[in-house]
Structures are given as structure tokens and as C-alpha cells.
Amino acid sequence: MTDSPDWRRRRWEATHQRIFETAVGLFETEGFDQVSVSRLATAAGVSVPTFYAHYPSKEHVVMRLMAPAQVAALIAAQPAHLPLAVRIRRAAVESLTGIGAEVRDQLHARWQIIAGSSSLRHRAGEFDRITATMVAEACADGGRPRPADLVVASAYLAAYTTGLLTWADGDGEHTLEECIEAAFDALARA
């Protein structure tokens, strides 16, 4: 039966991937700000409503916001007795462990696009603040996040993004992990 849930899921995933690959290709050749959603949808062979069924915005094609449960799990996996800054740093570095070459290449392509667009760099700051709030809420155990935790989480998320941008802007001289560790080290020394 071609209308099974498994078939629909595979079809949805294939369309999602086609939109992503088409978008990255267009963004790399024409620039993020020069490609409209209409142009992107046409090039991917989908309608504009189908594009929006897969991605809430053009920015979300290249920028990924983690789910609160994912953030909470990363923080919870760290020893609770450690300072929040150390827990965030360890969680960020550990989240990169074991990602394959294909995923790393996609991550690099996405961050090169982000690095090349001032509007996406600005939007990355918004994503940092949203994620920092998720981190502070994960530490609050259902209560209200402490302002100090929000400050620490915001600083470390900004440093993480700086590491990603440095890696994207670089010439391959440094690994992703080296760029992120350098950004975290700079924050720790500040």
C-alpha cells in the first residue's frame, strides 16, 4: 500500500531534504538575502505552502533551534554539582562528538551561509537567547530561572556561536572543536 504511514514519512523526509539541498545550493551561489521563498520553492519543485509546511521561515532552513527537551537532556547529562558554565561547555563539546563527516559538512555549509549574511548573524543572536532561556529553565527544575543562570547561559551560547562563525569563516586551519574551545577559553578569561 503506497499510502502507509511509513511511505508518507519517507516522502516527507525526501521533500524536506530536497528543499534543504536546493536552498543551500541557491544560498551558496546567489546569497541568502537574494533568494526569496518563492524562488526557493520553485527551484525545489514544491509550492510555497509546502515550503512552509517543512520550514517555518527561510532562516530555519539553515538555522536549527533545538527542542527544549534536547537542551534539557544535554544539561541533565552533566554532573549537577558542576558550575553551570562548566556544564554548558561540556554539553556543547559533547554534542559534537560522534557527528559523521556528512553531518559536519552540512553544518559547515550552513554556518558559512550564516557567516555570509548580516541578517542571519543577527538572527543567530536571537536563537542564542532562546536557547539560553531553555538552558536556564532546564537548570531551574520547573521553577523560575535565576537571572544569574540566564546571564551565564547567554554568555556561553554567544561564545558557542562565535566559535561556529570562526570555524565557518576560517580556511580549515582549525577544527570546529578547536574554534569552540577557543571561544569558551576567551570567555573564561574575560
What string of DSSP letters covers 21-59? Answer: HHHHHHHHHH-GGG--HHHHHHHHT--HHHHHHH-SSSH
3-state secondary structure of 63: coil
**Entry pTM:** 0.88
Cα distance between residue 162 and residue 121, in whole Å: 10
Contact assessment for residue 131 and residue 157, using Cβ atoms and an 8 Å cutoff: yes
pLDDT of the chain along its 190 residues, tens only?
Answer: 556 789 999 999 999 999 999 999 999 999 999 999 999 999 999 999 999 999 999 999 999 889 999 999 999 999 999 999 999 999 998 888 888 988 998 899 999 999 999 999 999 999 999 999 999 999 887 778 899 999 999 999 999 999 999 999 987 789 999 999 999 999 999 8
Instruction: List, in order of start, the domains of the chain with CATH numbers.
Output: 5-58 (1.10.10.60), 63-189 (1.10.357.10)
First to last CA, the chain: 61
